[in-house]
């Protein structure tokens, strides 16, 4: 049975659930309707118990009144039933008790005169009848008989009188003065049209329950429609996401469950799009690395082929310079030798670019290394009117780096900054400190080089680390590319921020390894 249900579609499962709910509600409705068809005896027994309780309250009120009269030495009201004061007192007692009992009449019976006295709160026409003479004539004999029997037998009496269209309930409780019976308290209640008096309530209850059952079925159908609509919307959204991860499912007006599912799918699509972009970025970096490796092999071969002819040309020019006496010829030889030296430097940089990086790491105070490299450029900077400003944090930690490689990086950055500021001079601000850290441990040292040079445009910034890309008229385009590779080999990163006419900022981040951090004592 369970396997059969599991094979059904979600729609049919909901329909079956709604049908079962409708049948269950119908069964409950029938059971309640049958329970509402209560019997005559059950109603009479319940009403008789309530009437007897009211009668006992009436008897207790008289007992309290009798105790008070005893203390004053006067005669009890039931021992002097012909007195107007006794009639008024008993009428007042019955009124006090019966005013809180719905549709109940009552009073007292005096054995002294075999009469009913203190009658009040009638339920038939002519309300506010205040004397025993106003008792309904149809029930007077039955009331007198029940009250007399209770007084004579010293036992409560309950009596049901059946009329042509209604029922009359009579209850009597004996009253005594010590061991002597003086009368009884009695009550009466009419039940017209039993058991049909509650028929309207029964029908009303049945209608309400039937309406509730119908409402339940309608709500079930609405739930089915809403869920089908939500499922179709989610299916359409997933189909769109197959071709475009930027598409989104809009479910703001749908039920809360559908909204949560749609939002979860949208978050998943955003994550997939982010992962896809990251994979494309990594793929691009791998392709870039492959191109660099191929370029490095090519450059290495070309550099080796060019190096030997350059050495021969340099030697021949030096010999010519020594042998000739013509000043113009010597000057030409000097210019050619300078160009050969520039070519030789370019060949050396090409070879360095092509060589695989082998780092020799050692703990280094990075601020000391930067100060050392700046000192080497102070004379050139002074000649061009460039001023150095340094700011190093006091809590800098030693960093494991290859000092020669990082010196190459700093030299290249400093030289580029001086050349960018040109003959007009400027300011190079250099700072170093700990980058924001996580889990209570610093994880990176941040170095910044900010110059006031002419800056570069956004297109050039995007290509700044590409090999052989340069904005200089005489540059090789390998300096920053080599710096980029060296910093990445140290596990760090280098970022360039610039704008035309706003200077250039280069930020270098190097990781702090656990071995570099100072040992903590406990």
**Tens-digit pLDDT profile for residues 345-367:** 667 666 665 566 678 889 989 99
Per mean pLDDT, which of 307-311, 341-345, 407-411, 478-482 is the most reliable?
407-411
The terminus-to-terminus CA distance of the chain in angstroms comes to 67
CA 348: distance to chain centroid? 61
- CA-to-CA dists, residue 109 to 143, 178, 402, angstroms: 9, 17, 122
Cis upstream peptide for 496 (omega within 30°): no
Burial class (CB in 10 A: 0-12, 13-18, 19+), 358: exposed
In angstroms, the CA 152 to CA 273 distance is 100
* Confidence band of 237 (pLDDT split at 50, 70, 90): confident
In angstroms, the CA 489 to CA 359 distance is 8
The whole-chain average pLDDT of the chain stands at 77
CB-based contacts of 440: which residues, under 8 Å, 6+ apart? none
In angstroms, the CA 354 to CA 378 distance is 31
**Tens-digit pLDDT profile for residues 92-114:** 888 888 888 888 888 888 888 88
- CA-to-CA dists, residue 247 to 242, 243, 265, 273, angstroms: 9, 9, 11, 10
Cα four-point dihedral sign 393, 398, 401, 403: positive
pLDDT at 338 over 50: yes
**In the β-sheet with 444-451, what is the strand arrangement from edge to edge?**
386-392, 426-434, 444-451, 504-511, 493-498
pLDDT at 444 over 90: no
- What 3-state DSSP class applies to 20? helix
pLDDT at 209 over 60: yes
Phi/psi at 113 (nearest 5 deg)?
Answer: -120, 5
**Tens-digit pLDDT profile for residues 36-57:** 555 566 777 888 888 899 889 9
In angstroms, the CA 423 to CA 417 distance is 12
In angstroms, the CA 252 to CA 274 distance is 24
pLDDT score recorded for residue 233: 79
Tokens of 399: 């960093």
* Confidence band of 172 (pLDDT split at 50, 70, 90): very high
- CA-to-CA dists, residue 307 to 11, 340, 343, 437, angstroms: 81, 10, 9, 48
Tokens of 405: 């490689």
pLDDT score recorded for residue 135: 65
Q: Is the separation of the CB atoms in 300 and 351 below 8 Å?
A: yes
- What 3-state DSSP class applies to 8? coil
Per mean pLDDT, which of 212-221, 263-272, 455-464 is the most reliable?
263-272
- CA-to-CA dists, residue 470 to 294, 296, 340, 465, 477, angstroms: 20, 18, 21, 9, 4
* Element at 504 (helix H, strand E): strand 504-511
In angstroms, the CA 113 to CA 117 distance is 10
Tokens of 462: 């995007």
CB-based contacts of 412: which residues, under 8 Å, 6+ apart? 479, 480, 482, 483
pLDDT score recorded for residue 128: 45
In angstroms, the CA 185 to CA 210 distance is 47
Q: Is the whole model's pTM more than 0.85, yes or no?
A: no
H helical segments located in 37-106: 40-72, 84-98
Q: Which residues pair with 117 in a beta bridge?
A: 108
In angstroms, the CA 413 to CA 484 distance is 11
Percent of the chain exceeding pLDDT 70 equals 74
The answer to which of 178-182, 200-204, 298-302 has the lowest mean pLDDT is 200-204
* More confident site: 12 or 387: 387
Tokens of 148: 């007399």
- Which among 46, 149, 53 has a CA at the least distance from the CA of 97? 53
* Confidence band of 173 (pLDDT split at 50, 70, 90): very high
Burial class (CB in 10 A: 0-12, 13-18, 19+), 176: middle
* Confidence band of 428 (pLDDT split at 50, 70, 90): very high
pLDDT score recorded for residue 156: 92
């Amino acid at each position: 049975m369970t396997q059969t249900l599991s094979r059904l579609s979600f729609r049919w499962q909901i329909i079956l659930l709604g049908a079962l709910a409708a049948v269950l509600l119908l069964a409950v409705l029938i059971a309640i309707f049958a329970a509402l068809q209560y019997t005559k005896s059950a109603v009479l027994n319940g009403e008789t118990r309530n009437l007897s309780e009211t009668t006992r309250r009436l008897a207790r009120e008289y007992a309290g009144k009798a105790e008070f009269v005893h203390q004053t030495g006067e005669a009890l009201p039931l021992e002097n039933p012909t007195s107007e004061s006794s009639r008024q007192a008993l009428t007042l007692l019955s009124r006090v008790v019966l005013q809180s009992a719905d549709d109940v009449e009552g009073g007292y019976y005096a054995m002294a005169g075999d009469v009913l006295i203190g009658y009040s709160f009638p339920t038939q026409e002519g309300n506010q009848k205040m004397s025993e003479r106003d008792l309904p004539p149809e029930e007077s004999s039955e009331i007198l008989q029940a009250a007399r029997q209770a007084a004579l037998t010293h036992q409560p009496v309950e009596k049901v009188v059946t009329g042509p269209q209604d029922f009359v309930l009579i209850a009597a409780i004996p009253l005594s003065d010590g061991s002597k019976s003086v009368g009884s308290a009695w009550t009466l209640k009419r039940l017209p049209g039993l058991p049909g008096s509650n028929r309207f309530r029964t029908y009303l209850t049945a209608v309400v329950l039937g309406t509730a059952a119908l409402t339940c079925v309608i709500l079930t159908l609405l739930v089915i429609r809403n869920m089908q609509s939500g499922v179709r919307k989610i299916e359409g959204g997933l189909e769109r996401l197959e071709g475009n991860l930027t598409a989104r499912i809009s479910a703001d007006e749908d039920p809360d469950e559908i909204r949560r599912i749609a939002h979860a799918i949208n978050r998943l699509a955003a994550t997939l799009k982010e992962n896809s972009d990251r994979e494309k970025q990594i793929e691009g970096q791998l392709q870039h690395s492959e191109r660099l490796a191929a370029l490095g092999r090519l450059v290495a071969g070309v550099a080796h082929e060019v190096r030997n002819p350059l050495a021969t040309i340099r030697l021949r020019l030096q010999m010519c310079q020594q042998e000739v006496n013509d000043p113009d010829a010597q000057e030409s030889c000097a210019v050619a030798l300078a160009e050969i030296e520039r070519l030789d430097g370019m060949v050396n940089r090409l070879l360095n670019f092509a060589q695989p990086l082998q780092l020799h790491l050692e703990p280094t105070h990075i601020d000391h290394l930067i100060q050392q490299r700046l000192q080497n450029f102070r004379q050139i900077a002074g000649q061009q009117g460039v001023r150095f400003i340094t700011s190093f944090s006091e809590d800098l930690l030693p960093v494991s780096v290859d000092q020669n490689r990082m010196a190459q990086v700093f030299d290249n950055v400093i030289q580029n900054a001086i050349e960018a500021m040109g003959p007009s001079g400027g300011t190079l601000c250099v700072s170093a400190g700990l980058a924001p850290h996580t889990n209570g441990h610093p994880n990176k040292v941040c170095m910044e080089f900010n110059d006031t040079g002419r800056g570069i445009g956004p297109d050039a910034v995007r290509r700044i680390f590409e090999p052989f890309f340069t904005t200089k008229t005489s540059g090789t385009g390998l300096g920053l590319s080599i710096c980029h590779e060296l910093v990445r080999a140290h596990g760090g990163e280098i970022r360039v921020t610039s704008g035309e006419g706003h200077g250039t900022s280069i930020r270098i981040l190097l990781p702090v390894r656990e071995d570099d951090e100072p040992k903590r004592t406990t």
